[in-house]
């Protein structure tokens, strides 16, 4: 894919645009040295600059050379399309990044359908370009002038958001990225009023429809506005980001399988000898139990809350801090408090000592289990009896926790009636 060279006024212009198209840097440099004004010329009919041609064909070196000659990155062609739009259409991620670095405006709209670079990346299914544009939108003046949420849900001339276009074309990767960045699943198109779910169903894009179903849970969103999240040290941030990605991956698997979403949990022990696992449980009960997360009773505590010092696992920390967009009420929620003491959270740290002691306790328990098989059998029977009778309260608490987690990510903006917006006359969107 790529844009060719249409009519040029002179032979030098034709050679210049041809060199930009094929990436002939030597010819391009010689032509610009002989006539620097060529850098700002455009083809006769389509009004394509060398930037447009280089961006559409993925010629990063050409793009850099032309930009170095002072050509503005937001030159427009006949249809008011910028080089950034063409790079996003054709999936040329290196050119997208270069143009963004050069200050390309992501808030420009073409004259064909009033679409932005975000629309084009979503329509053509170029996930990496889409992600790059969204990242730029968080750090450019767009976030201050328009607001990030408004940019993600910007409409074209037909009232279609980028999410509508990704649903129409069957781009589940783009749907996922847009949902994770706050795209509104209940947004309606123009006069026919279709939600993205209805658009995906009409085109028989089942994977997109499953992700867009108004009755399914929304993905958890990184809680960037929270001060103690924005000031995370790299290790704690890596732990939480990994947990967030895993939670959303599990959500998608459950949705695509047609089952109710539940948060991810650690896989059950596949220990070859069951009594060894029981022995480890029993011998280390006084120490390792305190290291398990007291919210889910499933995973080890890896995050410590400051200033109180309470600890919990990364998934439970995210469930406490994350929210689901685009529910307007979640955009101004107060900072969450520690679930144990209700104190303010000033900082989150990696619980180094806890994880280290947990590993040490497990090693000690394993050694004890290996040296005393009779003790293992006796304690194994006792653990079995406790699990049948005395632990019912813990079972109930775990069920309640699991039930509350299954609701994480549900936004009030999702429409309860999945047929809403579907009984409209046939239209493109």
- Intra-chain end-to-end CA distance of the chain, in Å: 26
**Are both 308 and 232 inside the same structural domain?**
yes
Q: Around Cβ 105, how many Cβ atoms within 10 Å?
A: 17
DSSP string, 178-241: HHHTT--TT---STT---HHHHHHHTT-HHHHHHH-TTSPPPPB--TTSHHHHT--HHHHHHHH
Q: What is the mean pLDDT of residues 369-376?
A: 47
Site of tokens 């305190």: 290
pLDDT band at 353 (very low <50, low <70, confident <90, very high): low
**Are both 251 and 184 inside the same structural domain?**
no
* Boundaries of domain holding 90: 9-105
Residue (of 225, 399, 219, 226) closest to 305 by Cα position:
226
Please say which residue of 105, 136, 152 terminates a domain: 105
Residue-wise over 51-73: b if at least 16 C-beta within 10 A, else e?
bbbbbbbbbbebbebbbeeebbb
Tens digit of each residue's pLDDT (9 = 90 or more) over 217-261: 666 666 766 777 777 888 888 888 788 778 777 766 776 665 343
User: Residue 297 domain-assigned?
Assistant: yes
DSSP 268: P
For 3, 280, 327, 368, 371, the CA distances from 277, given in Å and listed in that order, are: 64, 5, 44, 11, 14
Q: Which of 301-310, 334-343, 381-390 has the lowest mean pLDDT?
A: 381-390
Peptide bond into 135 cis (omega under 30): no
User: Residue 307 domain-assigned?
Assistant: yes
Please say which residue of 76, 105, 134 terminates a domain: 105
**Are both 211 and 226 inside the same structural domain?**
no
Tens digit of each residue's pLDDT (9 = 90 or more) over 275-320: 344 443 443 444 444 578 888 888 888 888 888 889 989 888 887 8
Percent of the chain with pLDDT over 70: 65
User: Residue 176 domain-assigned?
Assistant: yes
**Are both 297 and 190 inside the same structural domain?**
no
User: Residue 155 domain-assigned?
Assistant: yes
- Structural domains counted in the chain: 3
pLDDT exceeds 60 at position 165: yes
Peptide bond into 307 cis (omega under 30): yes
- What is the structure's pLDDT at 138? 87
The answer to whether 261 touches 250, Cβ cutoff 8 Å, is yes
**Are both 117 and 101 inside the same structural domain?**
no
Helices 172-180/234-256 angle, 10° precision = 130
pLDDT exceeds 60 at position 89: yes
pLDDT band at 390 (very low <50, low <70, confident <90, very high): very low
- What is the structure's pLDDT at 384? 42
**Are both 144 and 234 inside the same structural domain?**
no
Residue (of 305, 304, 315) closest to 241 by Cα position:
315
Residue (of 325, 13, 316, 287) closest to 180 by Cα position:
325
**Are both 307 and 255 inside the same structural domain?**
yes
**Are both 117 and 99 inside the same structural domain?**
no
For 65, 66, 110, 139, 217, the CA distances from 167, given in Å and listed in that order, are: 37, 36, 21, 27, 17
Q: Provide the whole-model pTM.
A: 0.58
Percent of the chain with pLDDT over 90: 32
Q: Around Cβ 363, how many Cβ atoms within 10 Å?
A: 12
Tens digit of each residue's pLDDT (9 = 90 or more) over 169-185: 999 999 989 988 889 88
Tens digit of each residue's pLDDT (9 = 90 or more) over 152-162: 999 999 999 99
User: Residue 421 domain-assigned?
Assistant: no
CATH of the domain at 296: 3.30.40.10
User: Residue 377 domain-assigned?
Assistant: no
pLDDT exceeds 70 at position 354: no
User: Residue 48 domain-assigned?
Assistant: yes
CATH of the domain at 77: 1.25.40.20
**Are both 120 and 74 inside the same structural domain?**
no
**Are both 23 and 123 inside the same structural domain?**
no
**Are both 88 and 165 inside the same structural domain?**
no
Q: Which of 86-100, 123-137, 273-287, 339-353 has the lowest mean pLDDT?
A: 273-287
pLDDT exceeds 50 at position 273: no
The answer to whether 355 touches 302, Cβ cutoff 8 Å, is yes
User: Residue 18 domain-assigned?
Assistant: yes
**Are both 203 and 295 inside the same structural domain?**
no
């Amino acid at each position: 894919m790529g844009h060719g060279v249409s009519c040029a006024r002179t032979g030098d212009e034709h050679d210049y645009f041809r060199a930009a198209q094929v990436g002939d840097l030597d010819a391009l440099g010689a032509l610009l040295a002989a006539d620097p004004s060529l850098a700002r010329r455009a083809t006769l009919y389509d009004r394509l600059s060398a930037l447009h041609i280089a961006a559409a064909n993925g010629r990063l070196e050409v793009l850099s050379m032309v930009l170095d000659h002072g050509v503005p990155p937001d030159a427009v062609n006949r249809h008011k399309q910028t080089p950034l739009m063409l790079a996003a259409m054709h999936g040329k991620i290196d050119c997208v990044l270069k143009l963004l670095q050069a200050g390309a405006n992501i808030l420009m709209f073409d004259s064909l359908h009033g679409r932005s670079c975000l629309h084009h990346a979503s329509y053509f299914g170029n996930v990496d370009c889409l992600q790059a544009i969204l990242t730029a939108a968080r750090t450019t003046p767009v976030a201050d002038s328009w607001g990030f949420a408004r940019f993600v849900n910007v409409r074209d001339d037909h009232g279609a958001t980028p999410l509508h276009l990704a649903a129409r074309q069957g781009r589940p990767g783009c749907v996922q990225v847009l949902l994770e960045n706050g795209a509104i699943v209940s947004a309606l198109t123009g006069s026919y009023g279709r939600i993205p779910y209805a658009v995906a169903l009409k085109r028989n894009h089942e994977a997109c429809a499953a992700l867009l179903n108004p009755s399914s849970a929304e993905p958890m969103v990184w809680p960037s506005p929270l001060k103690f999240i924005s000031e995370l040290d790299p290790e704690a941030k890596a732990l939480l980001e990994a947990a967030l990605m895993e939670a959303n991956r599990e959500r998608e698997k459950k949705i695509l399988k047609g089952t109710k979403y539940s948060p991810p949990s650690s896989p059950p022990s596949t220990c070859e000898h069951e009594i060894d696992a029981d022995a480890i449980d029993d011998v280390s009960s006084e120490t390792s139990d305190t290291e398990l997360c007291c919210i889910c009773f499933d995973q080890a505590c890896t995050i410590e809350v400051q200033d109180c010092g309470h600890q919990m696992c990364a998934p439970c920390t995210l469930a406490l801090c994350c929210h689901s967009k685009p529910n307007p009420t979640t955009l101004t929620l107060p900072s969450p408090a520690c679930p144990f003491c209700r104190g303010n959270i000033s900082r989150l740290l990696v619980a180094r000592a806890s994880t280290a002691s947990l590993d040490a306790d497990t090693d000690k328990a394993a050694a004890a289990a290996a040296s005393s098989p009779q003790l293992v059998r006796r304690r194994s029977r006792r653990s079995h009896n406790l699990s049948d009778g005395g632990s019912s309260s813990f079972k109930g608490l775990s069920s309640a926790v699991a039930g509350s987690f299954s609701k994480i990510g549900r936004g009030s903006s999702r429409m309860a009636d999945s047929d809403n917006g579907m009984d409209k006359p046939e239209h493109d969107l």
